[in-house]
Amino acid sequence: MNKGFLPVTRQDMADRGWDELDFLYIVGDAYVDHPSFGHAIISRVLEANGYRVGIIAQPDWHSADDFKKLGRPRLAVLVSAGNIDSMVNHYTAAKKPRREDFYSPGKKAGLRPDRATIVYCNRVREAFGDIPILIGGVEASLRRFAHYDYWDDKVRRSILFDSRADILMYGMGERQIVEIAECLASGMAVDEITYIKGTCVISKTDDIYDSIKIPSFGECQSDKEAYAAACRIQTEEQNAYIGKTLVQEHFGRFLVQNPPAEPLSREELDKVYELPYMREPHPMYEKMGGIAAIDEVRFSITSSRGCFGGCNFCALSFHQGRVVTSRSHESILREAKLLVKHPDFKGYIHDVGGPTANFRRSACDKQLKTGACKNKQCLFPKPCSNLVCDHKEYISLLKKLRSLDGVKKVFIRSGIRFDYVMHDKNGTFLRELCEHHISGQLKVAPEHISDNVLKHMGKPQNSVYERFSEKFYNTTEKIGKKQYLIPYLMSSHPGSTLNDAIELALYLKRNGLNPEQVQDFYPTPGTVSTCMYYTGINPITNEKVYVPKSQKEKAMQRALLQFARPENRRIVEEALVVAGREELVGFDKDCLIRPYNDRRNSNGKDFKRKDSVRQNKGRVGSRGTKTERSGNKRRSGGNNRGR
C-alpha cells in the first residue's frame, strides 16, 4: 500500500515513526515520485527492500545547513545531479545559460549548482564528515572515466576523484544499490565494497584480477590518440556478460570500473515499475508553479530499456546498455489502468516506449548469453544478418492498450528506428502505426542526409530514410489519412563540412521543409561523437574526422538548416561564398536565397559572385530525392529517446 511521498522534513519522518534514516538522497531535480525520474526509482527500490529513505531535493548548496535537515543517516548518503547532466541542464550548445529548468518548480533556473554532483558531495562531507557517499545518475555515470569536458574545453579526471565519493554507481542502478545497501547494513566498511558489478571505486593499486589497463588520465590529457584509444576500449567493454574490469591511472591512484550490471529481467523490471509511486511531483511545489517535466511523462508508459541502435552521439549504450529488455503486457496494462483512473486523464496515452519505442527484445538471441558484439553494430552500417526483426509482440501490446475502457488513443512519441521498421519483412507495424498511433505527425531521426556525416553518426545511409519516407506516405494514402514525417536534424556533427550542410539545406528546399528548431551537435560526456569532437579521430575506426569547431562555422551550418529565415540570410550568403557555392544565391527556383541589392556580406565588405546560376542549375538538384510532404514543420523540443 502506498504510504505517500517519502520524507522531506523531520515531521514527515516523525509521522512514519522514524527517528533516523538509513539513506539520505540528495538530488538536483525537484522531488517527483514517478518512475521516469531516477531518484524516485532508487528510493522506492530501497524502500521495497526495507530501508528508510528521505529526500532532500535541490538543497541550498551555499552552506551545509540544508544538507543536515533530516539528520545524519545510519548507512550512507546518495547523491545525484538529476535526470540530466547539470552542465547540459544549465547551458546550450553555444554555452549560453538556459532561461528555464523544466526539472525545477516554476521552471526556475539556478536552483542547482554547476557540476552539482561534486558540489553536493563536498557539502555532504562538510555536514557529516567521514560518511559513505554513493554517487549515481546520468552525470556521475557518463563522467566515470577521464573525460573531455566541453565547458572547460579540457580533459577532466573521473568525477569519483573530484567528488571524493566512495562508490560510483553507473547505469540504471537498481541491482547495485541493493547489493551495496546489504553490505553496509551487515557492517561491512565502504572501502571493502570494491567488487560489485556496475560500480566504480578508487584503488591504490592497479593489480586487479582479469582487468584491462586503459590510457591514464595524464595520457588522455596530453595525447589525443591515447584519449581515442581509451574511448574505444570503454565502448567495447560495456558488456555485462563478458566485459572486463577497466583500470585507469589518475596520478598514482587508480579508477577501477567493474563490468556493467546485468540488465533487469522482465519480472524484475515489472516489479520496479509497479512500486508504489505517487506518480506526481511533491505537493510542496504546487504554489511554486509545479514541475513542468512531469507533463511529458504523466500519461506515458515506459515499456522497455536499452538500445542497440548504436548512434555515436547518444550516451544510451554507455548508460542503459545495448541489450534491450522489456516489461510484460500484464504489467503495462496494469499501469495503463492506473492512468485511466487519474482525474486529469482525457483518454490519451501519450507514449508507450523507451529509448527506442519499437525495440521490445534483444537484437538477437546471442545477446542474452554474451551481450552485444564488441566490434560490430546491430544496425550500422547495415542490419546484422543475425538481427531478429519482429514487431508482432509490440503490435499485440498496442492493440490491448487501445481496447481498454477509458482509452481513446495510444500514441507513440518516444521515437522509432525507421531502419528497423524497413528491415521487418512484415509491413503490418507501419500500417498499425499510421492507422492508430500517430497524431498527424511522426517524428523520426534521420539527423542528416549526407552519407559522409551519417557514417560518423553511426546512422544508416540516407537512402534508407528515403525508402521509409516513401513507404510511410504510401501507407497513409492507402488508409485515407493526411499525416506527415517531422525529421530531427543535427548541424555541425563531427564529419560535417560546410558543403554537407549546404546539401542538407538543398534537401530541405527540394522537399518543402522549413524546420522551426534544429539541434546543434552538443559534445556531452561519455559519447563516441564527443571523442571525435575533441580528438578529430573516430575511436572505433581510428579514422581522421573533420570537426567544425569555430563558432562562426557552427553558426553557418545551423543557419543553413533554416536558410529561409530573414535573420539568417546574410550568414547563409556568407557560408555559400566561403564554400564556393555562389550559384545558390539568385532568383532561380533551385537557389537557396536571393541576393541583396547592395551585394554586401555580413561584414559589410564587397564580394564578387559568379553569374553561374543557370550554368549550374543541373547540379543543384543532382541529389534529388522523392518529394516529402511537409505539413506542420514544428520540431518538438522534447526528450531524445530513440535517437
- Beta-strand ranges (E) seen in 190-296 are 199-203, 211-213, 245-250, 253-257, 280-281
pLDDT at 609 over 60: no
Distance, in Å, from the CA atom of 321 to the CA atom of 305, rounded to the nearest integer, reads 8
Instruction: Report the pLDDT value the prediction gives residue 2, as an integer from 0 to 100.
Output: 56
Per-chain mean pLDDT for the chain: 92
- pLDDT surpasses 80 at 35: yes
Is residue 109 within 8 Å of 89, Cβ to Cβ? no
- For residue 601, what is the DSSP state? -
Specify the CATH architecture of the domain 10-257. 3-Layer(aba) Sandwich (3.40)
pLDDT in tens, 4-18: 999 999 999 999 999
In terms of Cβ atoms closer than 10 Å to its own Cβ (0-12, 13-18, 19+), residue 452 is: middle
How many Å apart are CA 592 and CA 609, to the nearest integer? Answer: 15
Predicted confidence (pLDDT) at residue 626 exceeds the cutoff of 80: no
pLDDT tens profile 385-416: 999 999 999 999 999 999 999 999 999 998 89
Q: What is the pLDDT of residue 517?
A: 80
pLDDT of the residue at 612: 32
Asked if the model's pLDDT at residue 106 lies above 50, the reply is yes
Please, are residues 422 and 471 in contact by the beta-carbon 8 Å criterion?
yes
**Cα-based angle 384, 389, 392 (whole degrees, multiple of 5):** 175
pLDDT at position 118, please? 98
Domains 10-257 and 440-643 share a fold: no
Q: Residue 159: which of 121, 212, 215, 197 has the closest Cα?
A: 121
CATH 1.10.3720.10 fits 440-643, yes or no: no
pLDDT on residue 635 = 30
CA distance 2 to 173: 23
The confidence score (pLDDT) of residue 597 equals: 62
Collapsed DSSP state (helix, strand, coil) of residue 24: strand
Average pLDDT over residues 197-211: 96
Indicate the DSSP class of residue 291.
B
Q: Which of 563, 444, 578, 605 is nearest to 498 (CA)?
A: 578
Strands 199-203 and 167-169: antiparallel
Confidence check: pLDDT of 57 > 80:
yes
Best CA proximity match to 353, nearest among 107, 65, 641, 53: 641
pLDDT at 595: 87
454-472 average pLDDT score: 97
* For residue 611, pLDDT beyond 50: no
CATH number of 299-437: 3.30.750.210
Q: What is the pLDDT of residue 628?
A: 30
Residue 567 neighbours by CB distance under 10 Å: 8
Query: What is the Cα–Cα distance from 633 to 631, expressed in whole angstroms?
Result: 6
Domain map (residue ranges) of the chain: 10-257, 299-437, 440-643
Min mean pLDDT across 253-262, 366-375, 521-530 is at 366-375
What pLDDT band is residue 291 in, cutting at 50, 70 and 90? very high
